[in-house]
A and B are shown apart, each in its own frame.
Chain A
Amino acid sequence: MNDSKFSLNALLIVLMVFSALGLFVTDKLYDMAGRMVVMYNYAPIEGTDLGIKYSTLEPSGIYRGPENNGELVAEGDFGYDWGAAVIGDQLYINEYSMTSVDMTLCDLVRIDTKTFDREVVQKNTILRGRCRSGELVCVGNAFLPSNKPEVNSLCKFYAMTSNEVRADSTIRVLFIDPETGKVVYSVADSNALTNVVKKRYLDHTLEEVMR
């Protein structure tokens, strides 16, 4: 009995040692291989001299000035594809972060376009744009669809202790006051990550949506 228990403990120790080696090879070498593929995207932010660059050759982030010769003012993986909003000096935008196996998480952040101070407004929230009355329309409690949360066990595990994010279809559309960053209205909508968001929310005022 003692021998067999020792062997299970020994197996765990062996696993630990080989995992450390194996994970270094798969995680680090995979990462190096990932950077061999050249990717580049640039999108100017309307009404400003800023642009968002995503590149595997130079640091990704917000650049000021011309596309080819801009100055990096805020480093990070920002998303312009799902929605961004500039209100005065405040830029609301999605910021992506990766877990160690490259699962993508998304937070709504507010960036001061003068000082470039960054503040997380809502964690695990995806900005989709602004409705006609000016509130930010976001999807809360959600993983990015690219993670395939409905079948991804890591998403379920991540959501296990979280009230902010759900791996099932109980996602909510949040209307956030851009001045205060507070949620002023929310509505459950399992289609919030599809194109119906424009027709249902972005093309209406908050009052119309509440009706």
Chain B
Amino acid sequence: MRKIRFGIDVRRAMTGADLYVKVLQISSILPLLYIFTATGYMAIMGSRNVLSVLFDLGMCAIPRVEALALSYLYRLTSSEIFVYFALLAIALAVGVATDKILRGAPDASVKAHRIVAALIGFDLVLRLIPLSFNMTFGLPAEAAGWIVRAVCLALVIRDLKEWEKNK
């Protein structure tokens, strides 16, 4: 195991920021199941089913700005395949980048944690603005996305507080 002096993750297996990245990556995979199935079996789009619920949950769990950008990309290209690979690419890019930064040099890591906290906070506030895009997928999916995000924010803040205490 790599030794790092930075206090956030010396003893604990996972920090809040790590969890957030994992949530982002896993929720990016959820909509893919629906799109992949729809390319070969169009009838799946004609009824509410497990995959469409997963699609909605996944779209609500990824950052709202990312979902909006992907929706715009979808309208621009009329291609679900573009959206599919964009989702995968973003999840992978975030995973690789945060792996380097969150576990890197202490100063950069703390900064990264703060940035993650700010981004989650911004996302939480954005989701509360009463605009139509905030109710696209219905209240249950939106509420689930908000709660997951709020839990991640609480964990990141706790990690940062602990680090401040141990400093």
Give A contacts to B, CB under 8 Å.
1-2, 5-6, 8-9, 12-13, 15-16, 19-20, 22-23, 26-27, 30, 97-103, 105, 147-148, 151-154, 156-162, 167
Q: Bound state CA distance, A19 and B68, in angstroms?
A: 23
Would you list 5 pairs from A and B whose C-beta atoms are within 8 A, ordered by A residue?
A23-B81, A97-B78, A154-B34, A160-B67, A160-B71
CB distance from B87 to the nearest CB of A (A): 10
Which B-chain residue is minimally distant from A1 (CB atoms)? B13
Known contacts A8-B25, A9-B95; decide if A1 and B71 are in contact (CB<8 Å).
Answer: no
Q: Contact at B99–A27, with CB atoms within 8 Å?
A: no
> Which chain B residue shows the least CB distance to A20?
B85
User: Secondary structure at chain B's binding surface: helix, strand, loop or mixed?
Assistant: helix
Contact of B39 among A12, A26, A148, A153 (CB under 8 A): A26
B residues less than 8 Å from A162 (CB atoms): 71, 75
Please name all residues of chain A whose beta carbon is closer than 8 Å to the beta carbon of B96 when the two chains form the complex.
9
In the bound complex, do residue B88 and residue A15 qualify as a contact, i.e. CB atoms below 8 Å apart? Answer: yes
| Chain B count of residues within 8 A CB distance of the other chain | 53
**Is the pair B67, A153 in contact by a Cβ cutoff of 8 Å?**
no
- Residue among A12, A15, A162 with the highest chain B CB neighbour number at 10 A: A12
B31 to chain A, nearest CB (A): 8
A2 surroundings in chain B (CB, below 8 A): 2, 99, 103
User: Complex: how many Å from CA A104 to CA B75?
Assistant: 13
